[in-house]
């Protein structure tokens, strides 16, 4: 959740005690605040103590004694009751503000690392809705902004002197923050790297050269270039420079897309490369082949252009990976551009650490508060929440039904805003898959893949869901395509190929795919390899994997059946996997 404004320079920017108390009662009275009685008592206690000036006494021992009735012998080191309850309250608050509290003027959070609540005003509560957000386009009441209506016949109140003063103070504070942020970025971004959070790389698409063996009447080079320009121009995060022949345009571009076309009989090869203009470095290059006998000229142009654009502009494509200076940080107050949070999400996907997960979650949560009509932010936030369940052992998170509910709420909000967007459909596919609604999951995946078959991340994720739903042949084909097209999460899909080989009984290929995967720190990768080695009879090597899991993921070893049932949806596939573990000497608990 977003950080509080309690420590702001101007104390007048902090909500008053009366406003905070009213907000607490609003939260506690809402059916969407899911917390037990002692959790509600916890929230009231920490808020009241803070307002009374006794926040320094909000320690685990004090809360356990006063709120939970623990004895004086309570030891917070051995009894995590307060820490656990604080975590539940954080998620309950987060859910409240996502579902019904988006228009509330006061934000209450309990930041991690302590039990002292923070209070802040929501800066966007007075911003008028953008055009086109009339009642006919509003989402359902349980997800839409719940504005407080004015009494019938009474016009909205004009800003008070306090409100105007507060607005001016906000303006100057934000100006200072922006200046400080700019100076910080200028000191820390490498020379030649873009430093603006709203930076969009400029790509000059040059004319492709052709070999003398190509019939000039085909004019396929010009047609391919035109298709590339047309498809790149549809990506919001890239600026396309079409007239690269003009010196001023070429010099202004960050990258040049160059290439040539060769012919060998009826086989056409397109060679493309992305060159960084600042130093001439080739940051990406690839070949794309087509058969003139199998497709006509227009079909080849469209398909090859789609593959090139996907390789460059997909979320983990060449352009994103070539921009190390684009350090993704949580959004600051007043920043209405979601692009930094998109970068934060993709930076998290690449690193998969608890720190990057927290940064992405924080940033995206703020983005949905600032821009509730941005479907991309909602879709990515949904996947971040879901990762607390599916990658819990890698991230060290404590999943709960609340995580899945938050993921569902966010995905459904995204679907209301952009029902045909591939990323939104991908989020809906994943949420429904982990909720156990396989028909809805695969329907969303089918729609996502049909909307953009060139998005290798969507294709690969859809392939995984197909395979793990029991449609191994079609699913594994899509996973293989994602790997061949250099999908960003390569190790993730290699792990999927290991399962594909395992399920068809090819243990040699399964082991090769598993060991090729670069997910060495992911416990589930070790669990899959353990089952493969057990099924292959390689018990000594299996023991190494089992020892690693007992040391690094002991909780997984006591929860194997539940974890794998989240992923492998058919009982026969689950049992085949468990048989491999049993052959390695692992006890798999019977279903309860």
* Helices 571-583, 523-536: crossing angle, 10 deg rounding: 70
| Mean per-residue pLDDT, 304-327 | 67
Cβ pair 388, 403 in contact under 8 A: yes
| pLDDT tens, residue by residue, 335-352 | 445 667 887 887 788 778
| pLDDT tens, residue by residue, 353-387 | 888 898 889 889 888 888 888 999 999 999 999 99
Distance CA 476, CA 461 (A): 11
From its phi and psi, is residue 87 left (phi > 0), alpha (psi between -120 and 50) or beta? alpha
DSSP state string for 301-357: HHHHHHHHHHHHHSTTSHHHHT-TT----PPPTT----HHHHHHHHHHHHH--HHHH
Distance CA 363, CA 177 (A): 17
Consecutive H or E run containing 263: strand 255-264
- Whether residue 81 is predicted with pLDDT greater than 80 in this model: the reply is yes
Q: Give the pLDDT score at 583.
A: 95
Cβ pair 487, 467 in contact under 8 A: no
- Whether residue 486 is predicted with pLDDT greater than 80 in this model: the reply is no
pLDDT band per the 50, 70, 90 thresholds, residue 149 = very low
**Which tokens belong to 243?**
């007239």
Q: Give the pLDDT score at 320.
A: 65
| Mean per-residue pLDDT, 496-519 | 91
CA dihedral 503, 504, 508, 509 (to 10 degrees): -90
Distance CA 431, CA 110 (A): 27
Instruction: Give the number of other CB atoms < 10 A from CB of residue 344.
Output: 27
Name the β-bridge partners of 269.
262, 289
Average pLDDT over the chain reads 78
Full-model pTM: 0.59
Which one has a higher pLDDT value, 159 or 45? 45
**Count of alpha carbons within 13 Å of 106, Cβ hemisphere only?**
20
Distance CA 573, CA 513 (A): 19
Q: Which residues contact 365 (CB under 8 A, 6 or more apart)?
A: 1, 2, 94, 98, 381
**Count of alpha carbons within 13 Å of 564, Cβ hemisphere only?**
29
Q: Give the pLDDT score at 145.
A: 35
Cβ pair 91, 402 in contact under 8 A: yes
pLDDT band per the 50, 70, 90 thresholds, residue 162 = very low
| Vertex 256: Cα angle to 254 and 258 (nearest 5) | 170
Q: Give the pLDDT score at 267.
A: 80
Return the DSSP state at 11.
G
Q: Give the pLDDT score at 165.
A: 45
Q: Which residues contact 430 (CB under 8 A, 6 or more apart)?
A: 382, 383, 386, 407, 411, 441, 461, 465
| pLDDT tens, residue by residue, 193-242 | 444 445 678 889 998 888 766 666 667 888 888 888 888 887 766 888 87
pLDDT above 90 as % of the chain: 29
């Amino acid at each position: 959740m977003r950080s509080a404004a309690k420590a702001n320079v101007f104390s007048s920017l902090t909500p008053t005690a009366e406003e905070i108390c009213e907000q607490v009662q609003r939260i506690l009275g809402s059916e969407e605040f899911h917390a037990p009685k002692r959790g509600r008592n916890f929230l009231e206690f920490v808020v009241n103590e803070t307002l009374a000036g006794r926040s320094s006494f909000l320690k685990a021992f004090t809360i356990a004694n006063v709120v939970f009735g623990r004895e004086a012998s309570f030891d917070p080191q051995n009894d995590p009751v307060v820490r656990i309850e604080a975590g539940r309250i954080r998620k309950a608050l987060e859910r409240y503000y996502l579902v019904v509290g988006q228009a509330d003027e006061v934000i209450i959070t309990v930041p991690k690392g302590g039990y002292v609540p923070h209070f802040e005003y929501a800066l966007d509560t007075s911003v008028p809705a953008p055009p086109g957000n009339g009642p006919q386009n509003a989402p359902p009441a349980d997800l839409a902004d719940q504005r407080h209506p004015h009494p019938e016949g009474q016009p909205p109140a004009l800003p008070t002197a306090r409100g105007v003063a507060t607005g001016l103070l906000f303006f100057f504070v934000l100006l200072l923050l922006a200046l400080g942020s700019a100076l910080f970025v200028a000191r820390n971004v490498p020379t030649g790297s873009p430093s603006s959070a709203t930076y969009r790389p400029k790509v000059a698409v040059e004319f492709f050269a052709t070999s003398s063996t190509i019939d000039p009447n085909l004019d396929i080079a010009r047609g391919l270039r035109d298709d590339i320009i047309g498809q790149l121009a549809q990506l919001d995060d890239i600026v396309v420079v079409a007239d690269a022949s003009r010196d001023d345009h070429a010099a202004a571009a960050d990258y040049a897309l160059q290439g040539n076309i060769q012919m060998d009989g009826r086989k056409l090869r397109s060679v493309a490369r992305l060159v960084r203009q600042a130093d001439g470095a080739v940051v990406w290059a690839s070949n794309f082949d087509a058969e003139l006998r199998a497709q006509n000229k227009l079909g080849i142009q469209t398909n090859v252009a789609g593959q090139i654009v996907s390789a460059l502009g997909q979320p983990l494509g060449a352009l994103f990976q070539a921009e190390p200076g684009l350090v993704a940080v949580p959004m600051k107050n007043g920043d209405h551009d979601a692009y930094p949070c998109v970068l934060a999400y993709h930076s998290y996907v690449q690193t998969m650490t608890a720190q990057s997960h927290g940064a992405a979650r924080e940033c995206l949560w703020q983005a949905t508060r600032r821009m509730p009509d941005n479907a991309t932010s909602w879709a990515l936030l949904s996947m971040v929440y879901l990762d607390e369940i599916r990658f819990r052992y890698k991230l060290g998170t404590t999943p709960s039904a609340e995580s899945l509910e938050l993921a569902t709420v966010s995905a459904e909000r995204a679907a209301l805003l952009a029902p045909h967007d591939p990323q939104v459909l991908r989020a809906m596919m994943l949420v429904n898959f982990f909720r156990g609604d396989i028909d809805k999951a695969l329907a969303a995946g089918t729609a996502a893949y049909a909307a953009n078959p060139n998005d290798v991340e969507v294709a690969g994720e859809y392939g995984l869901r197909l395979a793990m739903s029991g449609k191994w042949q079609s699913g594994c084909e899509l996973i293989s395509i994602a790997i061949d097209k250099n999908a960003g999460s390569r190790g993730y899909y290699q792990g999927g190929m290991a399962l594909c080989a395992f399920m068809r009984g090819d243990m040699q290929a399964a082991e090769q795919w598993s060991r090729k995967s670069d997910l060495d720190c992911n416990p589930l990768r070790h669990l899959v390899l353990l089952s493969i080695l057990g099924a292959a009879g390689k018990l000594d090597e299996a023991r190494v994997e089992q020892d690693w899991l007992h040391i690094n993921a002991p909780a997984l070893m006591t929860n194997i059946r539940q974890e794998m049932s989240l992923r492998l949806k058919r009982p026969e596939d689950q049992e085949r996997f468990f048989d491999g573990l049993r052959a390695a000497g692992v006890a798999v608990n019977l279903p309860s």
